[in-house]
Amino acid sequence: MSAALARLLFARVDIAPLVLARIVFGAMMVIEVIQFFVNDWVGRYYIEPSFLFTFPGFGWVRPLPGTGMYSLFAALGGLAAMMALGLYYRLAAIAFGIGTTWVFLLDQTHYLNHMYLICLLAFLLAVVPAHRAASLDALRHESSEQTAPAWTLLLLKGQIAIVYIYGGIAKIDGDWLAGAPAAVFLRGWHLTAPLATSELACRMFAVSGMLFDLLVVPALLWRRTRVLATLAAMMFHLTNAGMFSIGIFPWLMLGTLPLFWPASASRWILARVRLLPASAPDLAAPSERPRHAPAITYALLAYASVQILLPMRHWLYPGEVNWTEEGHNFSWHMKLRIKHATLRYTATDRDTGDTWTIDPRTQLTKRQVDKMGNRPQMIRQYAVELARQYAQAGRPHVEIRAHAISQLNAHPPQLIVDPSVDLAHEPFTLAPAPWIVPLGAAWARQGGSPPTEGE
C-alpha cells in the first residue's frame, strides 16, 4: 500500500458528518417503517399475495408466517431508532441491514432504487464508527471521540456519488434526451402540467436532469460551487418529491448532502442541539496507521470495484436495457421509462392436447401484474410457477406461453416475449434470453408470430 493512499484513507477527520448521517438515517428509517404500518403496506405487499417474485437464487427468502411480517417491521423500526440514538449501534445497524435486505429480496415487483440504497447504507453505517460521539453508546462507555479515519467518510460519500453519476450516465439515452418520458412526468404534476405540451420544455427538463446528476457531486466537492450545488440539489429533490410517488428517496438524498459539506457545518448543526461541542477537534497531530490497515484498504477497493462494475453489466447484453430489463436492476436507472403492458398466458396440456387461456389477474395483485407485464424474466418466472401448480394438480406436461404486448415511451406497442416459446421450461440464465423480442422487431409490432428459418 502506497504512503499517499495510506494518508488519504487513515488521516483523522472530524466525526461530526458521520454522527449527523447516523442520526438522519435512523430517524428517516423510523418514519419509513411508520409509513408501512399507516398504509398497511406490510399486509398488502407481503402477506396477501399468494405468489411473490423472488430474486434468482433467493427463492428461500419467504415472508414470515402469521403476524411475523408485522413483527419484523416493528423490529426494524426499533432497530432504526437504536441507530439514531447510537444504542448498541453496530449490532442494531447489522440487524437492520439484514432485516431490510430480507424484505427487499421478497418480491422483485417492489424493487426500488432507494430500497437498494437503504440496504447498502445500513451495512456501510455498521462498519463506520458513527456511534463514538453523541450517542448512548458513548454515554455508556463514558468516552467520546471527536475524530474518525478518513476512509469512513469517503466510503459514504463514494456510495452517494455512484448513485448520482450512474443516474446521470443512464440519462444519456435517446428516449430520455428526446423528452419522451419528461412529457408524461410534467403532465402528472399540476405545477408543471402546462409545460408538458412544449417540446422545448420537455427537452430542457431531460437535459437538466442529466446534467444535474453528472455534475452535482463535483460541484458539491468544490468550495466555489458548493452553495449553488446545494441549492440545485434541494430544488431537484423537492421537485421530485412533488412530481413522483417515490417515497422517502428525495428526502434521503437531501439528508446525505451534509456529507459533502465541510465538517464544520455538521458540527454546527449538532452543536445547536447540544449533541457535540462547537469547537472543532485538533486534526494536526499525526495519525497512526492501524495494524489492520491493509485489510481495510483491500476491503474498500473490493467494495468500490463491485459498486463501479455492477451498474455497467447491462452493456454486456444486446438491445435496449429499458426494454429487455436485462441488467437493469442495481444499475441506478431511475425514472427513465414509461411502460404499459397487456398480458395473457396460454396453457397447453401435451397429454390431452387441450389449450386454455390464463388471466394472471385472478391470482396476482394489480401491482404485480402491471410490473410483470413489462419485465420478461418475471413473465417467465410466473410461467414456471403456473406449470408447477398444474403439475401439483396432476397435469405434469403443461406448456405455458405468454402473449405480452408492451409499450416503451413513445415507441409503438409490440410483443416483448416470443409467444411461440414454452416459457415454463426456459431456465433462468445470466446470458441474454433468446426469447425476449428485440425492440422494433417488425413481426412483433404486428403482434404476429416470429419468422421461420429462411424468411
pLDDT tens track for 178-228: 998 988 888 888 888 888 889 999 999 999 999 999 999 999 999 999 999
Cβ–Cβ under 8 Å, residues 242 and 189: yes
Residue that has been written with the C-alpha cell 408466517 in this structure = 65
Question: How do residues 301-324 score in pLDDT, each as one tens digit?
Answer: 999 999 999 999 999 999 999 999
- At residue 195, the pLDDT reads 87
Tens digits of per-residue pLDDT, 256-305?
999 999 999 999 999 999 999 999 898 876 666 777 889 999 999 999 99
- Cell representation of residue 96: 437492520
Where is pLDDT greater, at 246 or 312? 312
For all residues of the chain together, what is the average pLDDT?
93
Contacts of 273 (CB under 8 A, 6+ apart): none
Query: For residue range 409-454, what is the model confidence (pLDDT) as tens digits?
Result: 989 999 999 999 999 999 999 999 999 999 998 667 656 666 544 4
**Confidence grade of residue 143 (pLDDT, cut at 50, 70, 90):** confident
In this prediction, residue 454 carries a pLDDT of 41
pLDDT at res. 292 = 85
Mean of pLDDT values over 23-36: 97
Q: Is the pLDDT of residue 140 over 80?
A: yes
CA–CA separation, 150 vs 263, rounded Å?
12
pTM (predicted TM-score): 0.93
14 pLDDT higher than 50 = yes
Query: What is the rounded average pLDDT of the residues 72-78?
Result: 98
b/e per residue 118-154 (b: at least 16 CB within 10 A): bbbbbbbbbbbbbbbbbbebbeeeeeeebbbbbbbbb
What are the grid coordinates assigned to 16, written together? 461530526
CA distance 229 to 223: 10
Q: Give residue 287's pLDDT.
A: 63
* Distance (Å, whole) CA 184 – CA 337: 10
Q: What is the pLDDT of residue 455?
A: 38
Residue 367 reports pLDDT greater than 50: yes
Phi then psi for 346, rounded to 5 degrees?
-120, 125
